[in-house]
Amino acid sequence: MEKLYEGKAKIIYPTDDPQILLTHFKDDATAFNAQKKGTIAQKGVINCRISSTLFQLLEQQGIATHYIDQVASNQMRVKAVTILPLEVVVRNIAAGSLCRQTGLEEGTVLPFPLVEFYYKKDELGDPLLTRDRVLILNLASLNQLEQLQSKALAINTYLKTFFSDCQITLVDFKLEFGLDAEENLLLADEISPDTCRLWDQSQTDDPQGRVLDKDRFRKDLGNVESAYEEVQTRILSQIELTTRNE
């Protein structure tokens, strides 16, 4: 099948319906703007399953997403959207670039969720934006920026509690949004251990052992596959538990 677009972790294919695209989740993993490359066995299948599950949960909370359905273990059908060239990052706890850029100590609980916008532009290394830079570069309108901020916070409120029920701390995560033909803003891309920092609450005193996300790959911590599997298992068990109790 002819590809419409190939990114670092996913391939997008067209379908017979121009409003619908097929997302194929790859096992390929990259870090540091693709300077580090590798594969994580079963990642495509796991990330597709986790993303599908989280998109469905968010839809149930009234958050519009591009998700339609999962059609294979590593393939999802999504609504065709024009992706905004922005990465919307929400942080609850200091880690990663926030610590590097501000000197905050890793693990510092932030007094309120921090929403940040990064420019999705590999040539520039995805720099941090300000509100006015977004407007000057025409990356989104003021109204869209406000919508992005409030959607990101609503998603954070829901996911923080959901992950906590899985005994996982949602440290931070990255979202992407797209516009459909009617200019509605839909949550797009994926939400997975590739795009979140997730810390195991049962290993709070072990800064490396608690990591259940792509930082295991970025920092060569080992046991990457089993961490991704653990996240999937906990999410699916939690959903089974809540549906059984309904």
Which residues would be at the binding site for ligand TMP (CB under 6 A)?
89, 95-98, 126, 172-174, 195-197
Among residues 128, 184, 192, 186, the alpha carbon closest in space to that of 159 is found at 192
Pairing verdict, β 75-79 and 20-25: antiparallel
Contact predicate 42/224, CB 8 Å: no
When the beta carbons of 78 and 95 are compared against ligand TMP, the nearer one is 95
Measured distance CA(233)–CA(166) in Å, rounded: 9
Q: Which is nearer to ligand TMP, 20 or 153 (CB)?
A: 153
Compute the least distance from the CB of residue 118 to ligand TMP, in Å. Answer: 7
Min CB(124)–ligand TMP separation in Å: 12
List the beta strands (DSSP E) in 80-131.
82-83, 86-93, 109-119
- Provide the minimum distance between the beta carbon of 104 and ligand TMP in the complex, in angstroms, as a whole number: 11
Structure tokens at 111: 């007094």
Judging by DSSP bridges, how do beta strands 28-31 and 36-39 pair with one another? antiparallel
Comparison of 17 and 220: residue with beta carbon closer to ligand TMP: 220
| Contact by Cβ (8 Å): 79, 180 | yes
Token couple for 151? 């959607």
- Closest contact distance (angstroms) between CB of 119 and ligand TMP is 11
Min. distance of Cβ 107 from ligand TMP in angstroms?
13
Q: Which is nearer to ligand TMP, 85 or 96 (CB)?
A: 96
Shortest Cβ distance from residue 245 to ligand TMP (Å)? Answer: 30
Q: Which is nearer to ligand TMP, 16 or 122 (CB)?
A: 122
Pick 11 or 196: Cβ nearer ligand TMP:
196
CB of 173 vs ligand TMP, minimal distance in Å: 5
Nearer to ligand TMP by Cβ, of 19 and 125: the residue is 125
